[in-house]
């Protein structure tokens, strides 16, 4: 009958198969019919080529990872303390009111690695240049405090460090008479950071009155609490004359980090930028330039003299001929 399309199937039965023709697609290798619901489906989870797959690697638990995380944190803290920033605790009132006893400051240790030297007005931490801390009480930290101090997570109690303000640098002449003001290279300093009620200088014969030229490679430091600071003024009878070697400087205090109510930066006061305060240093290049120019002038004068003498001999010879 020509009314029935060959191969059409309704799913509910149909004409009988004709000899030599199959209405069903050929089965693929393995006996799976691609036209069936299972054609192209992957193996069941955990099986591959008919065999169970190896167990997937499970992530380590948090408690197993914790020691590794702590180790990395300690190493980073040690690197930061050694090369970048370190916390220091203020042990006394010698820098009031800029710094209070118990404050924690962060000190920049990076810039000295690149040859930067302390500048006038900066607050710096430095190692004891010799016997400045004699008689001072020594803290007795517990084991945990020692470990945290060693890696830089707490101020170290073992380091013999001081913190003061740089008033003058190598080559400067710093002086103070009477109650002040302090003068650097003849320029009077306006010091609003000096503790209220203090005078810039102390009237005493133990170091409060002074006039010193700071040796090259050293700095002159003073506390902001002038009448409560054993600084460069009171160590003039020791080696170095009270000046601190630049090599002893640990770094510059940049910010008060603790307590939060005391948070503040520690910028350089404007008084140290006044014109003429660098007069001593600016004169040095001029002097060097003058010293270098003298031989050139003398050499030029000699050449002119020799040339004039030769010209005179030539002129005299022509006349005689």
The token pair at 68 is 């590794």
Percent of the chain predicted with pLDDT > 90: 42
Higher pLDDT, 8 or 57: 57
For 211-265, write each residue's pLDDT tens digit. Answer: 999 999 999 999 999 999 999 999 999 888 999 999 999 999 999 999 999 999 9
- Cα–Cα distance measured from residue 190 to residue 182, given in angstroms and rounded to the nearest whole number: 8
pTM: 0.63
- Measured CA to CA, the distance from residue 245 to residue 216 in angstroms comes to 9
Mean pLDDT of 194-207: 93
SS3 314: helix
Mean pLDDT of 21-30: 47
**Residue 69: pLDDT over 50:** yes
Annotation marks residue 211 as catalytic: no
Split at pLDDT 50, 70, 90, the class of 9 is very low
Task: Name the residue with higher pLDDT: 259 or 37.
Answer: 259
pLDDT confidence tier of residue 84, bands split at 50, 70 and 90: confident
Q: What are the residues facing 48 on neighbouring strands?
A: 51
Instruction: Choose between 191 and 109: higher pLDDT.
Output: 191
What's the CA gap between 317 and 187, in Å, rounded?
65
Q: Which one from 81, 109, 164, 183 is the annotated catalytic residue?
A: 164
Give the pairing type, strands 123-127 and 161-169. Answer: antiparallel
Active site residue 94: yes
> How distant, in Å, are the alpha carbons of 15, 26, 46, 183 from that of 36?
21, 11, 23, 100
The reported pLDDT for the residue numbered 110 is 85
Phi, psi of 62 (to 5 degrees): -60, -40
Q: Residues 220, 231: contact at Cβ < 8 Å?
A: no
Please state the rounded mean pLDDT for residues 97-115. Answer: 88
**3-state class of 201 per DSSP?**
coil
Distance of CA 80 to the CA centre of its chain: 9
Question: How far is residue 112's CA from residue 129's CA, in Å, rounded to a whole number?
Answer: 18
Options 89, 94, 156, 229, the catalytic residue: 94
Q: What is the pLDDT of residues 130-156, one digit of tens each?
A: 889 876 656 666 676 666 665 555 555
Q: Which has the higher per-residue pLDDT, 291 or 120?
A: 120
**Residue 102: is it exposed, middle or buried by C-beta count within 10 angstroms (0-12/13-18/19+)?**
exposed
Residue 244: exposure state from Cβ atoms within 10 A (0-12, 13-18, ≥19): buried
User: Is it the case that residue 8 has pLDDT exceeding 60?
Assistant: no
Phi-psi region of 207 (alpha: psi -120 to 50; beta: other; left: phi over 0): left
């Amino acid at each position: 009958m020509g009314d029935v399309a060959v191969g059409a199937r309704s799913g509910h039965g149909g004409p009988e198969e004709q000899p030599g023709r199959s209405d069903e697609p050929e089965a693929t290798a393995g006996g799976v019919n691609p036209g069936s619901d299972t054609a192209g489906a992957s193996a069941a989870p955990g099986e591959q080529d008919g065999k169970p797959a190896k167990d997937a690697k499970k992530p380590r638990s948090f408690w197993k990872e914790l020691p590794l995380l702590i180790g990395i944190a300690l190493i980073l803290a040690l690197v930061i303390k050694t090369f970048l920033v370190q916390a220091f605790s203020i042990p006394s009132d010698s820098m009031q009111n800029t710094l209070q006893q118990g404050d924690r400051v962060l000190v920049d240790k990076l810039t000295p690695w690149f040859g930067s030297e302390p500048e006038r007005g900066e607050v710096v931490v430095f190692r004891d240049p010799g016997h400045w801390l004699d008689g001072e009480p020594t803290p007795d930290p517990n084991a945990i405090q020692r470990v945290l101090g060693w890696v830089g997570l707490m101020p170290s109690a073992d380091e013999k460090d001081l913190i003061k303000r740089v008033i003058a640098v190598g080559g400067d002449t710093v002086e103070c008479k009477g109650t002040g003001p302090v003068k650097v290279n003849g320029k009077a300093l306006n010091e609003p950071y000096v503790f209220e009620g203090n005078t810039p200088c102390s009237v005493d014969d133990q170091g409060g009155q002074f006039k010193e030229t700071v040796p090259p490679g050293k700095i002159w430091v003073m506390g902001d609490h002038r009448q409560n600071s054993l600084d460069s003024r009171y160590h003039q009878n020791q080696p170095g004359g009270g000046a601190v070697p630049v090599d002893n400087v640990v770094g510059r205090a940049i910010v008060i980090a603790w307590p939060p109510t005391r948070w503040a930066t520690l910028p350089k006061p404007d008084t140290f930028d006044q014109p003429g305060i660098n007069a001593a240093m600016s004169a040095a290049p001029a002097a060097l330039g003058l010293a270098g120019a003298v031989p050139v002038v003398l050499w030029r004068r000699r050449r002119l003299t020799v040339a004039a003498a030769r010209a005179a001999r030539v002129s005299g010879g022509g006349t005689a001929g």
